[in-house]
Structure 1
């Protein structure tokens, strides 16, 4: 199977956009990711998938913690910043939830301690036990078919 065919097919799955953050040696690091999902309700567990070439991989391995900020529809510039498309002078609205770094103004913030790691293919899956959650009533930033999207206001019947 061609890599491009696989990528195109996976791009047909609409996702939210998150910034994964962690702190190491008093420095906060972040990366944009859409490979995030819930795993278990009891205990509350989530998983993030980090590529083997991402600098965030070793940072989460060392800190053994991560936070997930689900971005709000007007936070596209933050997504691009943490995906490596940095804008000169852009301020990052880091906040804190229970001592974990999060993105202020995001739809939801989920902070976790790593409970297990699984290496699969060219990614590591970090399973995190949820320690705290903060939720706002905002619309999420979405990603579909290689581009950013906004949630339609009409609901399906």
Structure 2
């Protein structure tokens, strides 16, 4: 039998106004995720932001989704048909996550690789070039569903985000034949 401890106290109910943005954010922080940089081309170069709201939507056709706050400047470039990049950061790319997450470092010189007119972070665990397919309104965010046009990946440990901080992945046991185990089709 599994036992759980409720360290947060009483349940917070969203329907009666008891759910605050702070409490909601703290609960969402219990979900560990990877860290990405979303990037777009501009006439004068590129614009990028750190995000962990990234997910796969469909294998056939290959679709992904990102969720971006309405107040983020990158929204003006993410229109239907626009191309953008997703770079999945490695555990050694935390400085990029901070830089594009609102803590700019004037000494940091990101390695930018261009594919299909889209800027991508060099040396990432995976990169995707995608095209905005659908846009959905979601409260204070916009959800962009996009078709994957090109991707590249390499075996590298990911940068993770949990509970408001960064972390690294540590396998409990190594996968046979390499870093990433084979994923059965029924899991996808």
Query: TM bucket by the smaller chain?
Result: over 0.9
Q: Deviations over 1:101-129 (max 9, x none)?
A: 10000000011011110011011111110
Structure 2 counterpart SS, 1:61: coil
Partner Cα separation in structure 2 for residue 26 and residue 65 of structure 1? 16
Match of 1:66 in 2: 84
Match of 2:7 in 1: none
Match of 1:123 in 2: 141
Partner Cα separation in structure 2 for residue 149 and residue 116 of structure 1? 32
Partner Cα separation in structure 2 for residue 82 and residue 58 of structure 1? 17
1:2 positional shift:
1.1
Q: Which has the higher contact order (CA 8 A, sep 6+)?
A: 1
1:153 positional shift:
3.4
Match of 2:40 in 1: 22
Gaps of at least 5 residues in structure 2 are 1-18, 176-188
Q: Quick check: 1:94 aligned with 2:112?
A: yes
Q: 1:50 aligns with which of 60, 68, 73?
A: 68
Aligned in 2, Cα 1:135/1:72: closer, same or farther, shift over 3 Å?
same
Q: Quick check: 1:35 aligned with 2:53?
A: yes
Gaps of at least 5 residues in structure 1 are none
Normalised by the length of structure 1, the TM-score is 0.95
1:64 positional shift:
1.3
Q: Quick check: 1:105 aligned with 2:105?
A: no
Partner Cα separation in structure 2 for residue 30 and residue 109 of structure 1? 14
Partner Cα separation in structure 2 for residue 97 and residue 135 of structure 1? 14
Partner Cα separation in structure 2 for residue 149 and residue 127 of structure 1? 28
User: Structure 1: which 4+ aligned runs deviate by more than 3 Å?
Assistant: none
Match of 2:13 in 1: none
Aligned length: 157
Partner Cα separation in structure 2 for residue 140 and residue 65 of structure 1? 24
Query: Do the aligned residues in 2 keep the contact of 1:117 with 1:127 (CA within 8 Å)?
Result: yes
Tell which structure's C-alpha radius of gyration is larger: 2
Normalised by the length of structure 2, the TM-score is 0.79
